[in-house]
Structure 1
């Protein structure tokens, strides 16, 4: 009788502590959480420099601009104006105006293209060959040669519909004006040449503008846009990590000329999602959108979900409890109790908590008979300091599910110093090493690689750790990686 009274008092105390009805055998297992860790998504802007070779423009202009720009065969009434001398204060005509026939032509040499600032410059060498024949019946013929250099300066732009636009203006100057010396006078033919060159210059401007419009940026941009709806491997295994890119719009920040290459400053802004799994399906491509005039500021912003599956935590807990079972639990008023632990159960519980259940077989050292069997349930809240990969478990809550009133003592075991803190310590996971390894793997994996006709370059500059949370499918520790990325079109030659 004396032994029963302390036991009954202890059981009553345990029932009050546990908040459960001993007659009903204790609390049930915590419900399973059904929420899933989110698939992180963020907006990134990937640099997509497009290079357009303008060398074909020279070939097109060579075909479009004729070699002989103009010819002349015209009778002039006064190739040499009348000569006058002053006699007694009056000018007296000494010789009449001398007529002649002017024949000749202006041809161009090979065109030369170069980039200068924001303009394409087309150098057009001009060569003039002009002759004055039958000059007053005296000079039978003398040929004058001259040379000039014309510059077609083309200011180009990219319209919102991806068409190249060019506006050319051409200037030229005579480096050697065509002319001949006759009767001590220099007869030049620049006026005649200029008159003939004026319409030719307009024709060249028109041809240049026409050929600029034929540079097909749209096709290349559409190909890159379509290929950008893809998934990029960030880490091959342990764990496999993929980033899926869904482009939203294209930004255009101008261009620069590098010799005969036109470098367009383009960027694709899109949603980047990260998956810790096999390769996700590519998003469905959309048509190439209109161009947005906004200088792109390339940045890569991705969230890498580090998810610890609950299954990997079970052996950690089982090993810790097996080691603890080698010595008795000291229970107040009940004395030492030997406890055997069966396989544990670990899963996500509602409210961002983790639930741990372990099968228990307990026997007081001072008593004989059947041991008390049941399950001790514990829930805890995982927490970590901002930026830290060290995870702790707090807000421990113990409950039990036993095979009888006498088994409610298991709840007291659960609330003893040797149980809950032990499991919390075993569950405390330091993800720092895993995260360091993952960061190194991703940096190596995304550095540079070729995907078909595209060369993808990625760099990781920043690495930030977020707040851990328990979901139905695992412990979720968000990691943010920032850096830059570019996709260059480099088809195999």
Structure 2
């Protein structure tokens, strides 16, 4: 049957006809569109470049300067005479000058923290050292770290917290004539307002990240219909979001990647593209782990028009030799085109026009129509369809009794049609799986780049509806959607 079996149907079943020329009633119930709950990961990315620029503005290149007179750059030199220490030189004064600057800021991630590295460099000089030396210079360095955490509140506002740590890898100071002059305490005092400034700017910039606008855009566009397979047959998945989950964030290069997931009802349609669902306003944020969990039910459907030629070929082949009717003898039979449709109660109805003549009789053939109804069945996990509970009725213009009813109830006739109707969907299911895996592996739909992982593929139970045999196929796995709006 090939891919022609995958045609969307509104199907049904029936009680058998009670005899006479009346065909079994046609089914009016409609096959349900498969519907289930899925969680689709939709992360939001925020660039940290704006935060870095704000910090570059907030933290001056020159953090502070030093210019003061130090009366004891060099302590008095002593000698020991008769056990007593005697100063032989007075203390030597000098002028201490210096500057503490910072290098380029660096942003990186450590787990759920944004780390801003602030390189510090101190250059300290002692000048006019008592007229003895012109200048003595030393350098110091430190690395300050601003550690930032981002909190996303239920109303979509962002809040940042920052803490600053630093340590001198080389404390600023001068080694002069065996004496160490350090300025760590003064440097620490000067750093405190810088730290407060960094914290203030971090919180200000974090608050500017408008997650609500991005989330609202994603939420609105998530009410959509996505193509799972473009043709032979077209398969569509309609997505109707119900809530949005937040599972934290991580730092990915220069981006803050927030772990969001849209929990949505996913419905599958074959052939005609359904209308998109109507968006509703963005709900409050729910905390939870948005584990991607995709659950798709795709119908594999055999249209009755595809079954008719199979039945007609089987009947034409069988008509090449007579049917043997008990007590009446051989009967030559010609079959016209069959009629096949869904009947109420999950049954399939088959009508066949017949010209029949007993070989022992002369005259005109008996003409009429034989009707048969049956129930399609499948075993669990099997894609092979068989038919059971066969009921046969007929009507004819024959004079000597209803020969067609006898023919219809012949031990060969009904099983012949049931066997012709029996189909093996295994190839169709495998074909559908291959197509959908290929179609949804990675593709772009508007502003969304969809990546899908299919882990499970299983068949359900067959049922007859109004215009086809419906076999549901369930696919499970995961899906991630990257939101890439066109700028």
* Global fold match (TM > 0.5): yes
Is the aligned partner of 1:306 residue 2:291? no
1-side partners of 2:452 and 2:472: how far apart?
20
Aligned to 1:190: 184
Residues in 2 aligned to 1:337 and 1:214: alpha-carbon distance in whole angstroms:
89
* 2:168 is equivalent to residue 212 of structure 1: no
| 1:104-162 deviations in Å (ceiling 9; x for gaps) | 54332211122222222111122334567788999998666433221111123333333
Query: Which of 311, 322, 327 is equivalent to 1:317?
Result: 311
Counterpart of 1:228 (choices 219, 222, 226) is 222
Query: CA separation of 1:172/1:94 partners in 2, compared to 1, >3 Å: closer, same or farther?
Result: farther
1:418, distance to aligned residue in structure 2 (A): 2.5
Deviation at 1:483, TM superposition (A): 2.0
Q: 1:442 to 1:181 in 2, by over 3 A?
A: closer
3-state DSSP of counterpart to 2:291: coil
Q: Pick 1 or 2: higher relative contact order, CA cutoff 8 A, min separation 6.
A: 2
Structure 1 partner of 2:35: 41
Structure 2 matches for 1:152-191, cutoff 5 A?
152-180=146-174, 185-191=179-185
Cross-structure match for 2:54: 60
Contact 2:368 2:396 in 1 (8 A): yes
Residue 361 of structure 1, aligned match among 355, 364, 386: 355
CA displacement at 1:226 relative to structure 2? 3.0
Name the CA distance, whole Å, in 2 between partners of 1:429 and 1:19: 25
RMSD over aligned Cα atoms: 3.3
Question: Could you tell me which residue of structure 1 aligns to residue 273 of structure 2?
Answer: 279
Q: 1:389 to 1:183 in 2, by over 3 A?
A: closer
Q: Post-superposition shift, 1:83?
A: 10
Counterpart for residue 464 of structure 2: 470
Structure-1 residue corresponding to 2:236: 242
Corresponding position: 1:337 with 2:321: no
Deviation of the 1:35 alpha carbon? 0.8
Aligned residue for 2:7? none
Could you say which residue in structure 2 is the equivalent of 1:402?
Answer: 396
* Pairwise CA distance, 1:436: 1.6
Cα distance change of structure 1 residues 202 and 219 upon mapping to structure 2, 3 Å threshold? same
- The number of residue pairs the alignment matches comes to 472
Instruction: Say whether the 8 Å CA contact 2:36–2:296 is kept in structure 1.
Output: yes
- Shift of the 52–480 alpha-carbon distance from structure 1 to 2, 3 Å rule, reads same
Q: Does 1:128 align with 2:122?
A: yes
The one-character-per-residue Cα deviations of 1:76-96 (angstroms, maximum 9, x if unpaired) are 898889999999999999999
Q: Distance in 2 between matches of 1:444 and 1:378?
A: 41
Structure 1, 144-153 or 238-247: larger mean CA deviation: 144-153
Match of 2:408 in 1: 414
Aligned 1:385-396 pairs, distance under 5 A: 385-396=379-390
The 2-side partners of 1:222 and 1:91 are apart by: 81
Q: Which runs of 5+ in 1 are unaligned?
A: 1-17
CA 1:90/1:282 → structure 2, altered by over 3 Å: closer, same or farther? farther
TM-score between both structures, scaled by the size of structure 2: 0.85
Q: Paired residue for 1:487? A: 481
2:104 corresponds, among 110, 127, 132, to 110
Task: Say whether the 8 Å CA contact 1:80–1:187 is kept in structure 2.
Answer: no
Match of 1:438 among 432, 439, 442: 432
CA distance in 2, matches of 1:480, 1:290: 31
